[in-house]
C-alpha cells in the first residue's frame, strides 16, 4: 500500500498534481451495440485489457442500471484525457483478433449514414453469421469418424449426444439437442468419447455439390480480343496499373464478350498478387458461371447462399489470409475481407437483387464504389441493360462507358416480331398466339430449341366469378389467390398461404368460378397439348425448390434433353444456349403497369435480356413478343434491340419528375394489424417530414397512402415517400424528422433509402 508511505510534505505538494493527472488520462473505447441503443458509447479500458481492446474486435460492456453485460463492437480507441463524467469500464474482450479492418469499420459507418440504418445492424450485416458466433469450444465424437468400437457401449443418453455431435457443437447446444444434462457431456469428455473439435478450419473448401459430377466446360482463353473488348480491357487496366480508382461500365449485349474482359482483367490483377471480387446475382451463381472462373484461375472461392455458417466462416478466413485470389459471390460477397484487393467486378449490375430487401437496405453497387474508391482500385460494371442510374453517371462523365456493340463472332441479333394482344385473332387459342405457335413450330422443325418467358407462376393468376366478377382473395393479404394445380389450390404469392379454392363464389354463391390469366403451369399444359412430340420442362420457383434442380434443368436443356423450356425470369439470365432458335415473351406487359416508377425500365431490361437468348448459335433465331402495348417505348426499344433508345426516352421523364437518377427517394412503409393505426402513423410521419421540409420547393412529400399491396400477412400497409434532388440533404431532413419518434406499440415501420421495390 504505497499511499501510506507518503509523508505530509509529499501529500501537500505532489498529490494534487498526480491525482488530477490520474483522473484525466486513460484509454477510452467507443463501442456500438448490435441492437438496442443506436448511439456509439464510450467505455474506459482497464489497464489489464489495454492491448486487447482494439477497433474491430468485440468487447463485453456493462449496460444500464443493472450493468448487464452486452456484446458490442469496438469501433475506435483513443488514449489521452478522460471526459469529466465518469465512464464505466469494458468488462472483457470477445475476439482474439479484429473481425473487421479499420476500413470496414469506416465503411459500416458510411453505410449506416447512406441508408439511414443503425450502425450496429450494419456491423452485423457485413460479418457472416459463422464469424459472429460466440467463440465457444465445440465438441465432437472421438471415435465416430474412425469407426473403432469403444470399450463399453454408450448408454442411450450418451448415444444421443454422440449422434447430435456429428456436427461439432457446444456443450450447451449438445445438451439441449439431445435432452441430457451437462453431466452426461462431462462424463463423455472424461471417458474420451467426446473431444474438443479441431476447428471449423478443417471444413473443406466447398463448392456446389454438382460441380464434380458434371462434365467440365472448358472456356479456352481466346487468342485475340475483339477491338471493342481490347478497348474495354485497356480502360480497366489503365487505372489498375496506375493504382487508381475508376468506374468502367461495360455496356454490351449478352454474348458480346463482357465475361472474357472480366476474366482477363482478373488475370492481370492476380499477376500483381492482388485479389478480385466478382459479384453476380444469386441466380447466376450456377456451376457454369463458376466453372468458367475456376477453369481459368486456381483459387476461386464461391460464396453462395447455400453455404452453411461454418463453410462461410472457413472461406472468409481463407480470403482474409490472402489464400484466395478470386471471390465470386452474390451481394454480400462485397464484404469479403480481401487484404490485397485489386479489382471489383459486378456483372448484371442493373439487377435489383444487389439491393438488400431487409435492414440494412444497402445497395452493393454503391458499396462497391465506396470500397473501390477507398482502396484505389477499378470497379467494373457490366450489363446488356445498365440501370438508368448507371447510364446517367456515364452521360455525366463521372463513369466511363465502354460499348461492346455486337456479339462475339458477329452472329446477328435475332429479328423480333411483336404480336398485338389486343387483336382478338391473337388470343383465339389460349396464351399462345397463332404467330407464336408458328414460331415454335419453325424452331422445332429446324432442329432448334425454344424458350418461353412468362413472369407469373401458378396455373391461373386469379379465380373469378363469372356472375359477380369477384375474385377469390387471400384472407390475410389484399391479393388475389393464384390457382395452382394439381389439387386446385389457391396460393397467395404474398404470404404463401395455401387454400382449397371454393367451388362456388364466396360473394354471390354462383357456381361459376373460372380461372383467369395464365401462369407458367397453364402455359406448360397448353404447350404440351399443342406440341405433343416436344419435350417440355418448366422452370420457376415451384419446380426449382430442391437444391441443384436449377442446374439440373439447365444442364438438361444444354444437353438437348428438353426442346421447350417454359419459365419465369429465371430463364432470362445470363446463359449461353447455342441451339435456342426461338424465344417467346408470352406477356411483355405483365410488369409494365405496376405502381413502380421503374416498371418500364424493368420490362425493357427483361425483354431485352430474354430476347438476347435467341439465335446465339449457327442455326439463327427469332423472337416473338406478345404485348397489348406494342407502342410502349420499353417494348419498342426491346423489340429493336435498342436499349439505349429506351434510355433516351425515359431519362427526360425521370428528370421531369425528379425521380432517380435525378433525385433521391426515401420511402417509409408502416404496418399494423389496425388499419387506422397504420394510417395515423403514416400521417404522423408525413407531418414530421412536412414540418422539417418547411417551404423548400424542391422537396416533395407524398402520402400517406395505402401501399400498392394494401394488406400483407394480416398487416395493413401504408406508405409515405419523400423526394428531393439531393440525397444527402434529404437524408439529413429525414434524420431530423424521425429523431425522436416514439413508435406506438401496434405499429411497425421501416425506412428505405433509394428503394428498388415500391410495392
Ligand atoms: P458476355 O459475358 O457478354 O455474355 P462472353 O464473354 O460470355 O460474353 O462471350 C460469349 C462467348 O464468346 C463465350 O463463349 C466466350 O468464350 C466467347 N468469346 C469471348 N471473347 C472472345 C474472343 N475475343 N474470341 C473468341 N471467342 C470469344
Ligand atoms: Zn396472403
Q: Is the peptide bond before 360 cis (omega within 30 degrees of 0)?
A: yes
pLDDT band at 140 (very low <50, low <70, confident <90, very high): low
Residue 306 has pLDDT above 70, yes or no: yes
Structural contact between residues 6 and 15, judged by C-beta atoms closer than 8 angstroms: yes
Residue 225 CB less than 6 A away from ligand 1 = yes
Q: What is the mean pLDDT of residues 430-453?
A: 94
Q: Worst-scoring range by mean pLDDT, 265-274, 346-355, 513-522, 609-618?
A: 609-618
CA of 98 to the centre of ligand 2 (A): 44
Structural contact between residues 116 and 666, judged by C-beta atoms closer than 8 angstroms: yes
Give the model's pLDDT for residue 371: 98
Q: Worst-scoring range by mean pLDDT, 242-251, 296-305, 390-399, 556-565?
A: 296-305
Angle of the 182-190 helix axis to the 171-178 helix axis, nearest 10: 120
Cα–Cα distance measured from residue 73 to residue 473, given in angstroms and rounded to the nearest whole number: 46
Q: Of 496, 422, 429, 421, whose CA–CA distance to 457 is shortest? A: 496
CA 33 to chain centre: 24
Residue 289 CB less than 6 A away from ligand 1 = no
Residue 408 CB less than 6 A away from ligand 1 = yes
Give the model's pLDDT for residue 736: 95
Most confident of 33-42, 109-118, 195-204: 109-118
Give the model's pLDDT for residue 375: 97
**DSSP one-letter string for 38-73:** -S-EEEE--GGGTTT--TTSEEEEEETTTTEEEEEE
Q: What is the mean pLDDT of residues 436-450?
A: 96
Cα–Cα distance measured from residue 287 to residue 305, given in angstroms and rounded to the nearest whole number: 14
Residue found under cell 408525413: 686
Residue 3 has pLDDT above 50, yes or no: no
Give the model's pLDDT for residue 133: 66
Give the model's pLDDT for residue 688: 96
Using CA positions, which residue lies closest to atom 24 of ligand 1? 222
Q: What is the mean pLDDT of residues 578-604?
A: 89
CA of 480 to the centre of ligand 2 (A): 8
Q: Give, for ligand 1, the residue of 218, 251, 348, 408 to mutate: max count of ligand atoms closer than 8 Å to Cβ.
A: 408
Cα–Cα distance measured from residue 430 to residue 441, given in angstroms and rounded to the nearest whole number: 16
Mean pLDDT, the chain, rounded, equals: 86
Q: What is the mean pLDDT of residues 470-477?
A: 87
196, β-bridge pairs: 139
Residue 288 CB less than 6 A away from ligand 1 = no
Element (H, E) at 514: strand 513-516
More confident residue, 692 or 616: 692
Q: What is the mean pLDDT of residues 111-134?
A: 88
Cα angle vertex 81, ends 79, 86, to 5°?
105
Residue 256 CB less than 6 A away from ligand 1 = yes
Q: What is the mean pLDDT of residues 384-389?
A: 96
Of the chain, the percentage scoring pLDDT greater than 90 comes to: 57
Residue 380 has pLDDT above 50, yes or no: yes
Cα–Cα distance measured from residue 717 to residue 261, given in angstroms and rounded to the nearest whole number: 45
Cα–Cα distance measured from residue 47 to residue 62, given in angstroms and rounded to the nearest whole number: 17
Residue 6 has pLDDT above 60, yes or no: no
Cα–Cα distance measured from residue 669 to residue 76, given in angstroms and rounded to the nearest whole number: 34
CA of 570 to the centre of ligand 1 (A): 22
Q: Tell me which ligand sits closest to the C-alpha of residue 492.
A: 2
Q: Tell me which ligand sits closest to the C-alpha of residue 224.
A: 1
CA of 444 to the centre of ligand 1 (A): 26
DSSP annotation of 471 reads B
Residue 303 has pLDDT above 60, yes or no: yes
Q: Give, for ligand 1, the residue of 221, 257, 281, 617 to mutate: max count of ligand atoms closer than 8 Å to Cβ.
A: 257
Torsion sign across C-alpha atoms 189, 193, 198, 201: negative
**What is the number of the ligand 1 atom nearest to the C-alpha of 347?**
2
More confident residue, 197 or 576: 576
Residue 336 has pLDDT above 90, yes or no: yes
3 state SS of 599 = helix
Of the chain, the percentage scoring pLDDT greater than 70 comes to: 90
Residue 40 has pLDDT above 80, yes or no: yes
CA of 617 to the centre of ligand 1 (A): 12
Q: Is the peptide bond before 704 cis (omega within 30 degrees of 0)?
A: yes
Give the model's pLDDT for residue 359: 93
**What is the number of the ligand 1 atom nearest to the C-alpha of 407?**
10
Cα angle vertex 558, ends 553, 560, to 5°?
95
pLDDT band at 203 (very low <50, low <70, confident <90, very high): very low
Residue 226 CB less than 6 A away from ligand 1 = yes
Structural contact between residues 345 and 276, judged by C-beta atoms closer than 8 angstroms: yes
Q: What is the mean pLDDT of residues 314-327?
A: 92
3 state SS of 717 = strand
**What is the number of the ligand 1 atom nearest to the C-alpha of 262?**
6
Residue 210 has pLDDT above 50, yes or no: no
CA of 280 to the centre of ligand 1 (A): 17
CA of 128 to the centre of ligand 1 (A): 34
Residue 181 has pLDDT above 60, yes or no: yes
Structural contact between residues 625 and 417, judged by C-beta atoms closer than 8 angstroms: yes
Structural contact between residues 682 and 670, judged by C-beta atoms closer than 8 angstroms: yes
Residue 105 has pLDDT above 80, yes or no: yes
CA of 346 to the centre of ligand 1 (A): 17
Tell me the C-alpha to C-alpha distance, in Å, between residue 651 and each of 158, 194, 340, 496, 549. Answer: 68, 65, 38, 37, 39
**What is the number of the ligand 1 atom nearest to the C-alpha of 261?**
6
Cα–Cα distance measured from residue 378 to residue 389, given in angstroms and rounded to the nearest whole number: 19
Q: What is the mean pLDDT of residues 122-126?
A: 95
Tens of pLDDT along 655-673?
Answer: 998 899 999 999 999 999 9
Residue 429 has pLDDT above 70, yes or no: yes
Amino acid at each position: 500500500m504505497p499511499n501510506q508511505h507518503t509523508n505530509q510534505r509529499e501529500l501537500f505538494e505532489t498529490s494534487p498534481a498526480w491525482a488530477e493527472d490520474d483522473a484525466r488520462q486513460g484509454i477510452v473505447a467507443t463501442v456500438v451495440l448490435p441492437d438496442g441503443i443506436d448511439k456509439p458509447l464510450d467505455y474506459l479500458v482497464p489497464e489489464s485489457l489495454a492491448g486487447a481492446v482494439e477497433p474491430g474486435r468485440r468487447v463485453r460492456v456493462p449496460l444500464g442500471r443493472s450493468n448487464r453485460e452486452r456484446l458490442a463492437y469496438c469501433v475506435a480507441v483513443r488514449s489521452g484525457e478522460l471526459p469529466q463524467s465518469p465512464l464505466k469500464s469494458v468488462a472483457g474482450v470477445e475476439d482474439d483478433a479484429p473481425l473487421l479492418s479499420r476500413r470496414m469499420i469506416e465503411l459500416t459507418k458510411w453505410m449506416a449514414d447512406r441508408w439511414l440504418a443503425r450502425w450496429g445492424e450494419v456491423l452485423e450485416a457485413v460479418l457472416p453469421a459463422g464469424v459472429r458466433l460466440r467463440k465457444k469450444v465445440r465438441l465432437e465424437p472421438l471415435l465416430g469418424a474412425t469407426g473403432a468400437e469403444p470399450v463399453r457401449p454408450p448408454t442411450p443418453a450418451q448415444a444421443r449426444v454422440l449422434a447430435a455431435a456429428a456436427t461439432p457443437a457446444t456443450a450447451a447446444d449438445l445438451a439441449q439437442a439431445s435432452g441430457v444434462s451437462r453431466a452426461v457431456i462431462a462424463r463423455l469428455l472424461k471417458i474420451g468419447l467426446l473431444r474438443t473439435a479441431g476447428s471449423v478450419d478443417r471444413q473443406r473448401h466447398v463448392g456446389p455439390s454438382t460441380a464434380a459430377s458434371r462434365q467440365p466446360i472448358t472456356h479456352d482463353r481466346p487468342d485475340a480480343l475483339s477491338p471493342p473488348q481490347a478497348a474495354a480491357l485497356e480502360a480497366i487496366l489503365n487505372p489498375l496499373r496506375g493504382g487508381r480508382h475508376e468506374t468502367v461500365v461495360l455496356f454490351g449485349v449478352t454474348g458480346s464478350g463482357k465475361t472474357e474482359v472480366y476474366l482477363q482483367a482478373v488475370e492481370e490483377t492476380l499477376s500483381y498478387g492482388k485479389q478480385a471480387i466478382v459479384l453476380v446475382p444469386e441466380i447466376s451463381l450456377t456451376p457454369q458461371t463458376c466453372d468458367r472462373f475456376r477453369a481459368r484461375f486456381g483459387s476461386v472461392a464461391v460464396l453462395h447462399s447455400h453455404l452453411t455458417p461454418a463453410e462461410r466462416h472457413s472461406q472468409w478466413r481463407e480470403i482474409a489470409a490472402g489464400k484466395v485470389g478470386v471471390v465470386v459471390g452474390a451481394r454480400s460477397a462485397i464484404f469479403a475481407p480481401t487484404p490485397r484487393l485489386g479489382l471489383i467486378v459486378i456483372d448484371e449490375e442493373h439487377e435489383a437483387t444487389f439491393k438488400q430487401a431487409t435492414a440494412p437496405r444497402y445497395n452493393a453497387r454503391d458499396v462497391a464504389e465506396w470500397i473501390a474508391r477507398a482502396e484505389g482500385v477499378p470497379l467494373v460494371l457490366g450489363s446488356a441493360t445498365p440501370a438508368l442510374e448507371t447510364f446517367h453517371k456515364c452521360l455525366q462523365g463521372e463513369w466511363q462507358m465502354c460499348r461492346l456493340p455486337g456479339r462475339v463472332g458477329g452472329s446477328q441479333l435475332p429479328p423480333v416480331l411483336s404480336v398485338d394482344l389486343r387483336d382478338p385473332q391473337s388470343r383465339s387459342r389460349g396464351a399462345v398466339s397463332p404467330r407464336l405457335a408458328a414460331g415454335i413450330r419453325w424452331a422445332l422443325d429446324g432442329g432448334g430449341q425454344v424458350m418461353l418467358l412468362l413472369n407469373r407462376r401458378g396455373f391461373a393468376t386469379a379465380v373469378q366469378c363469372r356472375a359477380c366478377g369477384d375474385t377469390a382473395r387471400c384472407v390475410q393479404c389484399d391479393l388475389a389467390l393464384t390457382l395452382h394445380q394439381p389439387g386446385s389450390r389457391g396460393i397467395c404469392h404474398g404470404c404463401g398461404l395455401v387454400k382449397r379454392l371454393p367451388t362456388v363464389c364466396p360473394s354471390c354463391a354462383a357456381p361459376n368460378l373460372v380461372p383467369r390469366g395464365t401462369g407458367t403451369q397453364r402455359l406448360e399444359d397448353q404447350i404440351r397439348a399443342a406440341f405433343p412430340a416436344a419435350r417440355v420442362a418448366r422452370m420457376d420457383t415451384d419446380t426449382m425448390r430442391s437444391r441443384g434442380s436449377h442446374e439440373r434443368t439447365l444442364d438438361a436443356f444444354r444437353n438437348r434433353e428438353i426442346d421447350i423450356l417454359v419459365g419465369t425470369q429465371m430463364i432470362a439470365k445470363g446463359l449461353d444456349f447455342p441451339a435456342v432458335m426461338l424465344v417467346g415473351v408470352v406477356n411483355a406487359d405483365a410488369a409494365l403497369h405496376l405502381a413502380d416508377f421503374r416498371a418500364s425500365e424493368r420490362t425493357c431490361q427483361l425483354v431485352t435480356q430474354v430476347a438476347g437468348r435467341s439465335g446465339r448459335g449457327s442455326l439463327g433465331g427469332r423472337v416473338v413478343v406478345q404485348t397489348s402495348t406494342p407502342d410502349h417505348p420499353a417494348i419498342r426499344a426491346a423489340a429493336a434491340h435498342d436499349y439505349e433508345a429506351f434510355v433516351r426516352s425515359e431519362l427526360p421523364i425521370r428528370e421531369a419528375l425528379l425521380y432517380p437518377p435525378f433525385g433521391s427517394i426515401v420511402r417509409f412503409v408502416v404496418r399494423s394489424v389496425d388499419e387506422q393505426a397504420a394510417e395515423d402513423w403514416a400521417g404522423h410521419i408525413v407531418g414530421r417530414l412536412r414540418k422539417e421540409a418547411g417551404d423548400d420547393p424542391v422537396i416533395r412529400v407524398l402520402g400517406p397512402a395505402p401501399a400498392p399491396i394494401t394488406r400483407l400477412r394480416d398487416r395493413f400497409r401504408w406508405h409515405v415517400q419523400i423526394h428531393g434532388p439531393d440525397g444527402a440533404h434529404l437524408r439529413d431532413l429525414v434524420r431530423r424528422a424521425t429523431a425522436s419518434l416514439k413508435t406506438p406499440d401496434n405499429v411497425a415501420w421501416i425506412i428505405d433509402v433509394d428503394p428498388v421495390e415500391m410495392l
